[in-house]
Structure 1
Amino acid sequence: MIDQKNNIELSIVIPCLDEAETIEICIKKAKKFLLTNNISGEIVVGDNGSKDGSIEIIEKNGARLVHINKKGYGAALMGAIEASRGKFIIMGDADDSYDFSNLMPYILKLREGYDLVMGNRFKGGIKKGAMPFLHKYLGNPVLSFIGRLFFKIKIRDFHCGLRGFRKDSIKKLELRTTGMEFASEMVVKSSIFKLKITEVPTILSKDGRSRPPHLRTWRDGWRHLKFLLMYSPKWLFFYPGMFFFLLSTLFFILISINPIHAKELTFDLHTLTYCGAGIILSYQILSFSFLSRIYAINQGLIPVEKKFLNIFNFFNLEKGLLAGIFIFILGFLSSLNLFMDWRQEGYGNINDLNVSFRVLIPSVVMIIVGIQTIFLSFLSSIIGTIQNIKFLDE
């Protein structure tokens, strides 16, 4: 029942780049699974420019071959997924590290209504030599933990290469990354768009190739981490920005009133200056959080939430301008008062620099923050036309 063109339930998708040593056994295992379980399906191989005879082996074994010109793991998968005809898709690597003859746990979960079914190699078992030490005890656990923390996903193995999903559900996510970070993008966006996700135990075996894998530990690890940060403005910008803003503001206010003495240490004007710089810098970081979220929504990278839309509509251009002008005027009037005092001194040396700088530094901070608020209001209005977008909680 593999060759039926209509009413195909499952497409088994395999990315390929010079996998002549193992692609045949993967195709044979996939065929055996379809026949043994009487599943209407197909095997689709997305070839990324193989030159070692892989193409001939694919054609000889009766799998559908899709030529993908754009390089990259993600590009090969996206091309093959687009060409597939199945209601469900199970994707897996072509190195024989995953058992294509044992895919029923994925099918059962998909039939239950799950949109994405992830494999969990740490539950299923990692055979000796199947995963490098750094990947097993550092890379995968750390990146998976960050993913769970940032996106509130209960998946324990973010980067398992064997996973199943509903084609129509994943297609709505408009996945874009072409490299190894494609694996993270699928999980992250599935969570952001509230797809139904689960995982099943999966055994990882040592791959059957004699050559090194395409995966590069540090390069691809950084690409995964970079993707997780870019898709989480809260953790990249908002939380660090808010922490430093509150901390800087607290000490700024306290030192503005009186120096802080701690045994032999005295925190005074120098610390006040750094706290003022901290307020300005953290305010910029918070601005980046707001702007990046607006941009991501308008680009379709993340859905819009009603609570964010309410905040965006409340802090409109006019209110932002008024707030910025008000803060600027406070700083300007404070500076003007200092100038008048200096004028009374005949523009000479200021007698009490300590008192003067306790006014000068807050004045400068307010002037800068006021100007930033004015231009932030304009920029957010320029890039922030949020309309005709489906709400996340509808």
Structure 2
Amino acid sequence: MSDLTVTILMPCLNEAETLAFCVRQAVTALRDNNVAGEVVVADNGSTDGSQKIATDEGAHVVNVPTRGYGAALIAGIEAARGRYVLMADADASYHFEHLPRFLPKLDEGYDLVMGNRFSGSIEPGAMPPLHRYLGNPVLSSIGRIFFRIPVRDFHCGLRAFRRDPILALNLRTTGMEFASEMVVKSSLAGLRMTEVPTTLSPDGRSRPPHLRSWRDGWRHLRFLLLFSPRWLFLIPGVVTFFVGVLLSLWLIPGPQTVGRWTFDVDTLTYALGLVLIGAHISVFAVSARVFGTQEGFLPPNPKFERIFNYINLEVGLLFGTALLLLGIGILGYALHIWHGAGFGNLSPQRMLRLTLPSATCFMLGVEAIFGSFFLSLLGMNRR
């Protein structure tokens, strides 16, 4: 590693129309601010001569055979010689002269400094209304809620960061969701983040952008969900489970009337179904958390680890066995009633109030027993 302060990094795929302008702007920003740095172009297989343009303008070209926005940036970060990296697209939409807004924040100790186009300015025609009023605000809000991140523009392409901490995150996504992965993993790893206002200008290319609104928007949303088992699995699972339990306890004693609506065993069936669904989703939540931690997708969670000190395989087996015994007890009581009636016809409503909870206990017991074995297997290397 050299003593360079900053590497200005641009991903590139057939950017011949705007690349020279961007590289010149970056070189000028380094010179005018007396910053020791370099310009790196991570080329993703351009066929329009972008590589020669970049070299002629004084940039170092890194050839990246793996296609994708994220793949190009990962290779560029690995090749960077600067202590800091400032990245932005090579389509003339971002202003490299904003370099002085980012460097002081990095010098203050921040690990990731995001540009914020909404607190800066978005020039007319620079951002489609779908992105400006729906995509970016919704995805950024979801990210802040899920991960408590103090950033309001998750997808700004102009950002600066300390190279070594970002490399240590082991970023993996190769597509446009790389923008979200960097922010989310930085938060999960406890890196310091802040943002500065910046400007977004209209794309300087005559061809359509590489970004595909709905496809890439879904990839960002999918990434946010997959990296938050709590919001994807645990909260929906727990809420569903307890709604089902409360409804079941309300209906097991007998039919309930609210206004002109009467709720009976048919509603009880669906309520107990909610109990089972909630239990399944909750098991997925714990499994996803264990697997994500084991594979390095998610950082260790001390609170979660402490739970395993009390809820282990043996506790799960005892709990599952207790549910099975409860189901057997309810079934025995139902058989006792049937025997008292000479094994003849009984009221379906009365018996379903016993057989449905009994079957539910059987299923929950089996879930608890085998789920405990599965979680124990997943967490075998945890210790």
**Corresponding residue of 1:327:** 323
**Which deviations, in whole Å up to 9, do the C-alpha atoms of 1:136-163 show, x marking residues without a partner?**
0110011111111111112110000000
CA distance in 2, matches of 1:359, 1:102: 70
Report how far residue 173 of structure 1 moved: 0.8
Report how far residue 386 of structure 1 moved: 5.2
1:285 aligned to which of 278, 281, 288: 281
**Corresponding residue of 1:167:** 163
2:349 aligned to which of 344, 349, 354: 354
**Corresponding residue of 1:176:** 172
CA distance in 2, matches of 1:150, 1:33: 36
User: Is 1:382 the counterpart of 2:377 in the alignment?
Assistant: yes
Equivalent AA in structure 2 for residue 303 of structure 1 = P
**Corresponding residue of 2:210:** 214
CA distance in 2, matches of 1:196, 1:218: 31
CA distance in 1, matches of 2:302, 2:381: 11
Equivalent AA in structure 2 for residue 330 of structure 1 = L
Report how far residue 341 of structure 1 moved: 3.4
User: Is 1:318 the counterpart of 2:338 in the alignment?
Assistant: no
CA distance in 1, matches of 2:341, 2:68: 70
**Which deviations, in whole Å up to 9, do the C-alpha atoms of 1:310-351 show, x marking residues without a partner?**
11221100110010011111102211332343345444322x
**Corresponding residue of 2:338:** 342
CA distance in 1, matches of 2:142, 2:169: 21
User: Is 1:243 the counterpart of 2:246 in the alignment?
Assistant: no
CA distance in 1, matches of 2:382, 2:354: 44
Moved over 6 A (4+): none
CA distance in 2, matches of 1:337, 1:258: 17
**Corresponding residue of 2:109:** 113
User: Is 1:364 the counterpart of 2:334 in the alignment?
Assistant: no
CA distance in 2, matches of 1:40, 1:157: 28
Superposition map of 1:80-99 within 5 A: 80-99=76-95
Unmatched tracts of structure 1, length 5 or more: 389-394
**8 Å Cα contact 2:38/2:59 also seen in 1:** yes
SS at 2:248 equivalent: helix
**Which deviations, in whole Å up to 9, do the C-alpha atoms of 1:282-328 show, x marking residues without a partner?**
11011111110011111111111221101122110011001001111
**Corresponding residue of 2:4:** 8
User: Is 1:49 the counterpart of 2:17 in the alignment?
Assistant: no
1:192 aligned to which of 183, 188, 196: 188
Equivalent AA in structure 2 for residue 99 of structure 1 = H
CA distance in 1, matches of 2:375, 2:210: 41
**Which deviations, in whole Å up to 9, do the C-alpha atoms of 1:108-138 show, x marking residues without a partner?**
1111110000000001100000000100011
**Corresponding residue of 1:132:** 128
**Which deviations, in whole Å up to 9, do the C-alpha atoms of 1:193-213 show, x marking residues without a partner?**
110000000000011100010
SS at 1:39 equivalent: coil
Equivalent AA in structure 2 for residue 170 of structure 1 = I
Tell me the TM-score normalized by structure 2. Answer: 0.98
User: Is 1:223 the counterpart of 2:211 in the alignment?
Assistant: no
2:256 aligned to which of 248, 254, 260: 260
CA distance in 2, matches of 1:354, 1:183: 56
Equivalent AA in structure 1 for residue 69 of structure 2 = Y
Report how far residue 258 of structure 1 moved: 2.6
Equivalent AA in structure 2 for residue 308 of structure 1 = F
CA distance in 1, matches of 2:367, 2:151: 40
Quote the sequence identity (%).
50
User: Is 1:150 the counterpart of 2:120 in the alignment?
Assistant: no
**Which deviations, in whole Å up to 9, do the C-alpha atoms of 1:354-394 show, x marking residues without a partner?**
22111111111111001000011000000113537xxxxxx
Tell me the TM-score normalized by structure 1. Answer: 0.95
Deviates more, 1:306-315 or 1:196-205: 306-315
